[in-house]
């Protein structure tokens, strides 16, 4: 066997073995009622189990099926809000859909939950002015619900329209005034955002763009959707600037004056160039706008050429540097999407670097998994990225990140 093939098989088995160990350990903790690091409805465990089933051997498949069965028994115990994350019903829907790849009977529960989400959408009354995250975003708002409906399913127009119509209406003007947040003045963490428009994938316009793009790909280029997408994408492009490391990037909120000086350390799925440039490229691709797609690809290329693991990965916790939201796994997932769909050589190069970076840190991922197995902030999401980007496992979970 050639040395490179042997190395690839070794790393493949190391990742699948770790995924199996962490799923077994999570199942044992869950049966004992000891899982407290994430909401019981978080889709991380069934997402990882579905991918392990895709690539694993018989023992891995048995571990995966067992973990999904344990997860499904607690899937209705979340807070009851409609969010994709934070224990919401849309996240439960994702978990049921992905878990049904191992236990097909879960599709019945998923269909019922989907219908409930659609039924309650008009009664929630999300605001169209003075918004908070729950009124629009990907984490706890209708953009996340739109993306959840697209996971391993073929949603109908009637299922998407209650959410898509609201999100599109928030982008009815070029400067996106309806997306200016309110109610965060004096907040210990979000005071900086009060009265401003967030740019990011998790809580901002990039996530809005990702959800609208996913809708356009399924409903076609309806005038209200394409108009909203053009408003949002043009606004995002106007907020970009080159930092002192020659990366075309974005701050956490729209510019309120000249572009700031200095480097921008946060380059992640949630904020900065990775998530925002992908949202812009995918929207341009869906709309057939080759010029805008080339601009967005160029922005990501500046990141790929100047990305520095020692500077751009930072934080006090393993999740900050390893997980999907802030860490290496999220940038890996974005680079993999750019390489696959846009054919960017720089994306493939960065993907290879980040695969190696994470593979060298499997012991740290093990430690993270003992604490948290969530999708965005836990080891399950990091391992999902490794299995999809590194081993060609299913991409059906990627709408959870606004990717494909």
Enumerate the known binding-site residues for Zn(2+): 270, 325-326
* Count of Cβ atoms closer than 10 Å to residue 306 Cβ: 17
Question: H helices of 323-371, where?
Answer: 328-337, 345-359, 362-371
* Count of Cβ atoms closer than 10 Å to residue 66 Cβ: 17
Integer Cα distance of 388 and 375 in angstroms: 14
List the one residue out of 286, 285, 242 whose CA is nearest residue 264.
242
DSSP of 131-151 = B-GGGT-TTTSHHHHHHHHTT
List the one residue out of 87, 86, 106, 84 whose CA is nearest residue 97.
106
H or E stretch at 160:
helix 157-169
Integer Cα distance of 352 and 346 in angstroms: 10
DSSP 181: B
Q: How far is CA 267 from CA 146, 270, 403, in A?
A: 25, 8, 17
The CA-based angle 309-393-370, given to 5 degrees, is: 60
Q: Which residues are annotated as a binding site?
A: 270, 325-326
Burial 124-159 (b: 16+ CB within 10 A, else e): eebeeeebbbbbbbbbbbbbbbbbbbbbbbebeeeb
């Amino acid at each position: 066997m050639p040395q490179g093939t042997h190395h690839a098989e070794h790393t493949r088995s190391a990742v699948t073995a770790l995924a199996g160990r962490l799923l077994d350990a999570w199942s044992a903790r869950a049966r004992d009622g000891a899982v407290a690091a994430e909401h019981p409805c978080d889709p991380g465990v069934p997402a990882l189990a579905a991918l392990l089933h895709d690539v694993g051997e018989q023992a891995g498949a048995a571990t995966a099926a067992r973990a999904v069965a344990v997860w499904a028994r607690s899937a209705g115990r979340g807070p009851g809000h409609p969010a994709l994350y934070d224990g919401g019903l849309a996240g439960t829907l994702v978990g049921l859909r992905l878990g049904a790849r191992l236990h097909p009977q879960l599709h019945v529960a998923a269909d019922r939950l989907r219908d409930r989400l659609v039924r309650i959408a008009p009664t929630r009354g999300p605001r169209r002015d003075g918004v908070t995250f729950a009124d629009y975003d990907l984490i706890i708002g209708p953009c996340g619900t739109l993306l959840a409906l697209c996971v391993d399913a073929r949603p109908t127009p009637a299922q998407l329209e209650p959410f898509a119509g609201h999100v599109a209406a928030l982008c009815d003007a070029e400067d996106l005034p309806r997306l200016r947040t309110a109610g965060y003045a004096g907040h210990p963490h979000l005071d900086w955002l009060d009265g401003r428009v967030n740019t990011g994938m998790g809580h901002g316009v990039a996530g809005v763009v990702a959800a609208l793009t996913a809708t356009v790909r399924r409903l076609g280029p309806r005038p209200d959707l394409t108009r909203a997408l053009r408003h949002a994408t043009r606004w995002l492009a106007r907020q970009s600037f080159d930092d002192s490391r020659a990366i075309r990037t974005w701050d956490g909120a729209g510019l309120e004056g000249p572009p700031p000086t200095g480097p921008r350390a946060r380059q992640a799925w949630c904020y900065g160039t990775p998530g925002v440039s992908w949202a812009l490229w995918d929207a341009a691709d869906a709309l057939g706008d080759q010029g805008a797609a080339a601009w967005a690809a160029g922005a990501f290329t500046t990141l790929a050429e100047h990305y520095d693991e020692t500077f751009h990965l930072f934080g006090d916790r393993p999740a900050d540097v390893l997980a999907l939201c802030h860490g290496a796994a999220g940038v890996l997932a974005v680079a993999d999407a750019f390489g696959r769909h846009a054919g960017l050589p720089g994306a493939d190069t960065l993907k290879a670097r980040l695969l190696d970076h994470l593979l060298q840190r499997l012991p740290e991922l093990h430690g993270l998994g003992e604490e948290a197995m969530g999708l965005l902030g836990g080891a399950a999401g990091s391992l999902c990225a490794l299995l999809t980007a590194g081993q060609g496992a299913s991409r059906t979970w990627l709408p959870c990140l606004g990717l494909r």
